[in-house]
């Protein structure tokens, strides 16, 4: 399958690219600076673009079987996440590409959540410290939910570098999920979700 990965040069993005290539996917990496891919450029299709450029986003999506986004909020005051969601979903609808896997923070709420006190405290603190980021991420997920695509929003708590834990806890806030996860495990879950219809149009929290 051909897939396009947005945010491919970030810390989680590089891991996602590595795993996708190892799994045999034909990867297009949408990046602002292809040189940051280093030697990986030999094994994939680098695509130079800016997420604010809707035309470039559409060209990157053309001919793909699915899209995955691990875009980080470089400047949340500009609405990076919401703009990315708008441009990516619009391009996918136009080009007939329907499977979208989107990474966001666990602070974005979902109707299936049953937050306990500790979850509410965590969300409240995050909302105070990173208000713009949280609002931007919420807007992005709202756009995805109403896109008509076969989306899966992967909500992750604190992301950590390092070796994979291997075991994952998948659920909703307050229902058996934790507060941290290794980036490599998030990447694995996102790839597995491509072929797992049980998470279509759902937004699970994934943790170790």
Domain hosting 25: range is 2-207
Helices (H) and strands (E) in the chain — how many of each? 6, 10
Residue 99 belongs to a domain with what CATH number?
Answer: 3.40.50.720
Whole-number pLDDT of residue 166:
80
Whole-number pLDDT of residue 120:
59
Residue with tokens 């559409």: 58
Summarize pLDDT for 53-105 with one digit per residue, the tens.
999 999 999 999 999 999 986 654 578 999 999 999 999 999 999 999 999 99
Whole-number pLDDT of residue 122:
56
Task: Count structural domains, the chain.
Answer: 1
Whole-number pLDDT of residue 149:
98
pTM over 0.85: yes
All residue ranges of the chain with pLDDT < 70 are 73-77, 115-131
């Amino acid at each position: 399958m051909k897939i396009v990965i947005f945010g491919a040069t970030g810390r989680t993005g590089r891991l996602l690219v590595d795993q996708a290539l190892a799994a045999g996917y034909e990867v297009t990496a949408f990046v602002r600076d292809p040189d940051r891919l280093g030697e990986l450029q030999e094994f994939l299709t680098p695509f130079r673009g800016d997420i604010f450029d809707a035309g470039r986003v559409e060209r990157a999506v053309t001919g793909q079987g699915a899209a995955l986004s691990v875009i980080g909020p470089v400047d949340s005051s500009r609405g990076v996440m919401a703009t990315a969601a708008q441009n990516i979903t619009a391009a996918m609808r136009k080009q007939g590409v329907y499977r979208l896997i989107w990474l966001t923070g666990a602070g974005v709420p979902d109707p299936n959540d049953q937050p306990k006190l500790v979850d509410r405290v965590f969300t409240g603190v995050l909302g105070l410290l990173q208000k713009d980021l949280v609002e931007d991420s919420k807007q992005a997920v709202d756009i995805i939910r109403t896109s008509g695509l076969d989306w899966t929003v992967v909500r992750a708590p604190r992301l950590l570098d390092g070796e994979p834990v291997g075991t994952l806890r998948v659920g909703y806030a307050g229902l058996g999920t934790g507060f941290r996860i290794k980036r490599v495990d998030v990447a694995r879950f996102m790839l597995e979700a491509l072929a797992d219809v049980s998470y279509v149009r759902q937004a699970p929290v994934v943790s170790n």
